[in-house]
Structure 1
Amino acid sequence: MHNTPLNAADFEVLEDTLLKYGDDHSVLNPCELDGYFTALVSGPAQVDIAEWFPGIWGGENPNWDDPQECRQFIDLCVRHINGLAEQLSSDAAGFSARFEHSEHQGQDLLLAEEWCFGYLRGVAVGNWPEMPATQTQLLQLIIDCAEQDNFELPADLDFNQQRQQVAAIEPAARELHGYWLSRR
């Protein structure tokens, strides 16, 4: 049960719960949660649920309306984080980040900003130490994407540049996972 991949309905439950209990300091959607969990399973050491669960909520666990709702949310989170850990450890090349899909000026776009926000939250909760220059540059790709303001895409958006930036995120995450995996 704890390794069963999440389906669309499961992600809907996650999203509804994040929106219900979240605030400006918490993870707000499944894309950001996916980035958060990816960084947690990719870091230098395993992070205990007692640390990562409050990290979803900005440090303060919510006051749940129903204990079953909390259990369901935790179960879905554990399934997802376990799935990411398994995927990255056994078949990193098959890893696919959960980016947002959007349309701008009639063109389909993948937006990685929210995922990158989550990833950086996971890096902070995982307390990543300094890394060599190569890995620092990989992390910088994620930082740069998180700093983009994709809430309002500009009329003069350079589609090729935007797509190249997003295309660099998954390989960077794979390489950072591989770096820390080889040192655990």
Structure 2
Amino acid sequence: MSHTPLSDADYQRLAATLNRFLPQQGMNLERLDGFFAALLSGPEQIKPTECLPIIIGEAFDDDSAFPSDKALEQFAKLLMGHWLDISASLREDGAFQPWLEPDAAGELRGNDWAEGFSEGMQLLNEDWGLLFDDPEHAPLLEPILTLAFERNPDPEVQVPALTPTQREQCLSALSESVHGIHRFFAAIRRRLEEEEQELERRQRS
């Protein structure tokens, strides 16, 4: 399927719509990017439209959240466009770059992105265990989880505040981590498909 990448104006519209729902526990664009990256690189792809309640929070149950059906349709189209942009970048090794927004001080912190990724992982928590339990590939999660847990209110899992150098190291590792995770689960899916095909061949013979 051919896909035209979203334009800068499209991304401005998407960000502005998402920001309207922040008071209702919706996601900003950085968090959404991390969330989609987890869904697309993970064990099984979940359609973005199935995740609307998570993406726009309490606004999902608010009939006045969108002024018209057309406005909701346009928002869904922008979401799908961003989803396809990430999907395309993951198919090109090294092309994926996380969408990081500077904070009020103009610094890139990455916490929203990593928290979004972590939220995406929780939807298929059990399947992500395959990666956690793989000693060779589990370190791919380290920069993501470090940023995700920096602001966690639970002192049991919260990591100490990162130094600027530590943060830079985590941020610069995100692209490679997501590509590595994508390759890890793609290989598992391929193996399962091959096993299923082999089983079908045996049953037919």
Normalising by the smaller structure, the TM-score range is 0.7 to 0.9
Contact 2:93 2:179 in 1 (8 A): yes
The structure-2 alpha-carbon separation of the partners of 1:12 and 1:115, relative to structure 1 and needing over 3 Å to count, comes to: same
Code of the residue aligned with 1:14 in structure 2: it is L
Contact 1:2 1:75 in 2 (8 A): no
TM-score, length basis structure 1: 0.80
What whole-Å deviation, never above 9, does each CA across 1:67-112 have from its counterpart, x for those lacking one?
11111110011111012112102x12121111123586xxx74321
Code of the residue aligned with 1:72 in structure 2: it is Q
Code of the residue aligned with 2:150 in structure 1: it is Q
Which residue is equivalent to 1:53?
A: 52
Which residue is equivalent to 1:165?
A: 170
| Structure 1 SS opposite 2:94 | helix
What's the CA shift for 1:8?
2.1
**Greater strand proportion:** 1
Moved more, 39-48 or 50-59: 50-59
| Structure 2 SS opposite 1:95 | coil
Code of the residue aligned with 1:68 in structure 2: it is K
Contact 2:42 2:128 in 1 (8 A): no
**How many pairs does the alignment contain?**
173
Code of the residue aligned with 1:166 in structure 2: it is L
What whole-Å deviation, never above 9, does each CA across 1:112-146 have from its counterpart, x for those lacking one?
11111111121123444302134333223211112
Higher-Rg member (1/2) = 2
Which of the pair has the greater relative contact order for Cα pairs under 8 Å at 6+ separation? 1
Superposed counterparts of 1:130-149, under 5 Å:
130=129, 131=131, 132-149=134-151
For structure 2, the residue ranges without an aligned partner over 5 or more in a row are 152-160, 190-205
TM-score, length basis structure 2: 0.73
**Divergent runs of 4+, >4 A:** none
Which residue is equivalent to 2:11?
A: 11
Q: Percent same amino acid at aligned positions?
A: 27
Are 2:118 and 1:116 aligned? Answer: no
Which residue is equivalent to 1:97?
A: 98
Are 2:74 and 1:83 aligned? Answer: no
CA RMSD of superposed structures (Å): 2.6
**Greater helix proportion:** 2
Please point out which of 157, 160, 179 is paired with 1:174.
179
Contact 1:2 1:82 in 2 (8 A): no
